Amino acid sequence: MNIKDLKTAFFQRYGQGDASISGELHTFFAPGRVNLIGEHIDYNGGFVFPAALTIGITAIARRRQDNTIRLYSLNTEQEVLVDTLGEMNFEEKDGWGNYPKGVFQFLSREGYELGGYDIMYWGDLPDGAGLSSSAAIEVLTTFMMLTLESEKTPVLASTAKGGEPIDRVWLSKFCQQVENRYIGVNSGIMDQFCVALGKKDHAILLNTDTLAYEYVPFQLKGYSLVIMNTNHRRELADSKYNERRAECDQALAILNDKYQYRDLCSASLEAVEELIQDETLRKRAIHVITENQRVIQAIDVLKQGDLVAFGQLLNQSHHSLQEDYAVTGTPLDALAHASQQQPGCLGARMTGAGFGGCAIALVKNENVEAFKKNVSAIYSEKTGLKADFYPSQIGEGVYQSETFERQA
């Protein structure tokens, strides 16, 4: 759906309005994100390596002359009404609308006196597939409100005002608080950070503890990053996540009977082979250490523009996640293995927590259509499920754009 269609839908819902009274239309976009490599190592002292996508969520907003915010999603066809002078508390019935409501409530607590708006959202991110649709709508809504309210709100120390750029690190921290304390999901900061600070043709090497980060060039040069949704519910992800964390803690405790490693990523493979007798714990440690090494190797090869080598690292990452960390499952394995065999595919792996959600593949542009057709057929035959495919480039973090021009 292009910006013209979105504006048409907006006018059909909320009328043409009077620009002299209601204000002009303002268009904003926030991307989804994907962690390119480095899975299940952030809680073991490693780095995350996400990138913003060119698929995401768009919002069109227009001022009202009262204190009502009308939120409408073209995806769910649900409208949520918000009184900015009220409590704006979480309500189950409001579904997706709780994400912007949380933003409004927390901005109000920061000192913003929000006015009324009509806001329409539309996204091409698959919900619940691990591409951070929740972070996208949180960052999008916050950025939009900070931008539109900056003219009439007193300067706050937390955000740059008076024509200065919005502090995007603060933006990511703010949205993480909305997710943690309003929505009630105890997420880390990677999702909001990448959506807020993404950069075209670059991935972000991020230390989630210190928020120190580095942009690493990632130019696809005739290739697309194909996101593949298993459409399989991630039923085991939470319980297995807690289990893996406990196993990593056990492995580190065994190693530190002799050594004094700061975290599991700092340990050596030699020490693991020497001290950890339990096969399961040994495998978990091997994945953590080698995956962290793959992140470091990925940075080197991407700085050299070597996509072939990066694709090989993707394959190695999936193999480790399958064999050593055991967080893939049949649907993700079927997608990754089928992808790795296709012409024009440099590499593929699961991304995210595992046990469902998404895989990614690096595919030559001219092969994308055949790739989707072939992988879809193999996946359906092996699992009985239908996969969805979302070719993307590496794009910018949240931004305002009246023309809303995005790469396909």
Cα torsion through 275, 278, 283, 288, rounded to 10: -50
What pLDDT, on the 0 to 100 scale, is given for residue 159? 47
Where does the pLDDT of residue 403 fall: very low under 50, low under 70, confident under 90, or very high at 90 and above?
A: very low
Query: Is the pLDDT confidence value at 21 over 60?
Result: no
More confident residue, 150 or 15: 15
**What is the model's pTM?**
0.90
Q: What pLDDT score does 117 carry?
A: 96
CA distance 239 to 289: 22
The residues that are catalytic are 191
pLDDT given at position 129: 67
- Report long-range pairs for 294-302 (Cβ below 8 Å, ≥24 apart): 294/37, 294/38, 295/37, 295/38, 295/41, 295/46, 295/47, 295/49, 295/205, 298/36, 298/37, 298/38, 298/49, 299/49, 299/205, 299/216, 302/203, 302/216, 302/217, 302/218
Q: Can you tell me the mean pLDDT for 206-231?
A: 94
Element (H, E) at 73: strand 68-73
Helix, coil or strand: residue 243: helix
pLDDT of residue 128: 65
Chain segment 264-292, per-residue pLDDT in tens: 999 999 999 999 999 999 999 999 999 99
Q: Is the pLDDT of residue 377 over 70?
A: yes
pLDDT band at residue 23 using 50, 70 and 90 as cut-offs: low
What's the average model confidence in pLDDT over 307-319?
98
Rank 124-128, 239-243, 394-398, 400-404 by mean pLDDT and report only the highest: 394-398
- At residue 126 the predicted structure's pLDDT band, cuts being 50, 70 and 90, is confident
pLDDT digits over 232-242, tens only? 877 666 788 88
Weakest-pLDDT range from 19-28, 45-54, 96-105: 19-28
Instruction: With both helix axes pointing from N to C terminus, report the angle between 168-177 and 98-110 in degrees, rounded to the nearest 10.
Output: 120
Task: Determine what percent of the chain is predicted with pLDDT higher than 70.
Answer: 91
Number of Cβ atoms within 10 Å of the Cβ of 389: 18
> How confident is the model over 5-28, as a mean pLDDT?
81
The answer to whether the CB of 404 falls within 8 A of the CB of 3 is yes
Mean pLDDT, the chain, whole residue set: 91
pLDDT of residue 16: 84
Distances (CA, A) of 382 to 77, 322, 332, 350, 351: 34, 17, 11, 17, 20
**pLDDT class for 324, splitting at 50, 70, 90?**
very high
Residue 125: predicted pLDDT = 85
pLDDT more than 90, % of the chain: 80
Residue 253 CB contacts under 8 Å (≥ 6 apart), including other chains? none
157 pLDDT tier (thresholds 50, 70, 90): very low
More confident position, 405 or 217: 217
